[in-house]
Amino acid sequence: MMPWRLAWNGLLALVAVNSLALSLRAEVPRALAAALENLREQRSYSWEIINADPGPVAQSTETRRGRVTTVQQNLASHVIASLASNGDMLLKRDWPDGGQLDTLVTADGQIVTGTPEGWLTNQEVLTAMADERVNTNTPSTRYQWLRRADRPDTRRPAEELAAAVRAAGEFEVSGDTYVARIRIGDNARESSGLSALAVTLAVTVRAGVVRDYQLTVQGSRSLARAGVEVPLSDDRFVIFTYLPVRKLDVPDEAWAKVRPTKSAAAR
């Protein structure tokens, strides 16, 4: 079974790298550029990240060594997130297997994640993972949620979208939607084990604001030992809500970890 999450995380890194090289040449439609600037300046908003069907999905491929069957499973989490007007952010993540974790990111960069053992800082999560590896010979349920709690992706979608737009080629306009192909350099792609990769970006803009965007991936991953390439596909759909958030729904236990000297009334 092949977890697609590994390829998706690699893709986001490649998009960021390529956007730096292409930022001086990219031509972004004026309305889209204005909407991106509007999103960047928003002090408070919410968003939802919807990933492709988690599967598992079996695919059969003809290769020089015969027919190969692989099973893909999307291990990325579904995310509902909010950015408060003071800069604090809350990520509520859930997985197809029923796992759930909430992560609080303060405006000054402190991070704590709610776990079955309480709210833990990144360092506490790393320490618990090290203890689990030392004390257990086989992967445990505890180690699984610790890995998910370990250094979660805390980037705002405005950052991801800006990088994707800079890396995109020429945009086509269809009503309120801007569609473009993202070019991934051959060297960067090969270093991540990805090949024949095509990424399509679709951004919907209405009334001067970004309403949603979608990244669609079609490609393959090289399996060096088997000498074959396995087809991969995925979708990442991000939806925005621009209602201001004044207070995050976070328990006092979490605030105590990041602001131990402040009372609940002060928040």
Among 4-18, 48-62, 128-142, which stretch is predicted with the lowest mean pLDDT? 4-18
Cα–chain center distance at 233: 16
For 125-153, what is each residue's pLDDT tens digit? 999 999 988 887 777 889 999 999 999 98
Q: Which of 66-75, 94-103, 239-248 has the lowest mean pLDDT?
A: 66-75
Of 239, 158, 169, which Cα lies nearest the Cα of 204? 239
pLDDT on residue 182: 82
Q: What is the chain's mean pLDDT, rounded?
A: 80
Three-state SS annotation for the chain:
CEECHHHHHHHHHHHHHHHHHHCCCCCCCHHHHHHHHHHHHCCCEEEEEEECCCCCEEEEEEECCEEEEEEEECCCCEEEEEECCCCCEEEEEECCCCCEEEEEECCCCCEEEEECCEEEEHHHHHHHHHHHHHHCCCCCHHHHHHHHHCCCCCCCHHHHHHHHHHHECCCEEECCEEEEEECCCHHHHHHCCEEEEEEEEEEEEECCEEEEEEEEEEEEEEECCCCEEEEEEEEEEEEEECCCCCCCCCCHHHHHHHCCCCCCCCC
Give the residue with greater pLDDT, 72 vs 104: 104
Per-residue pLDDT, 22: 44
pTM value is 0.80
Q: Can you count the helices (H) and strands (E) in the chain?
A: 7, 14
User: Judging by beta carbons within 10 Å of its beta carbon (0-12, 13-18, 19+), is residue 14 exposed, middle or buried?
Assistant: buried
Angle at 265 between CA 249 and CA 100, to 5 degrees: 20
| 178-195 pLDDT tens trace | 999 886 655 555 555 556
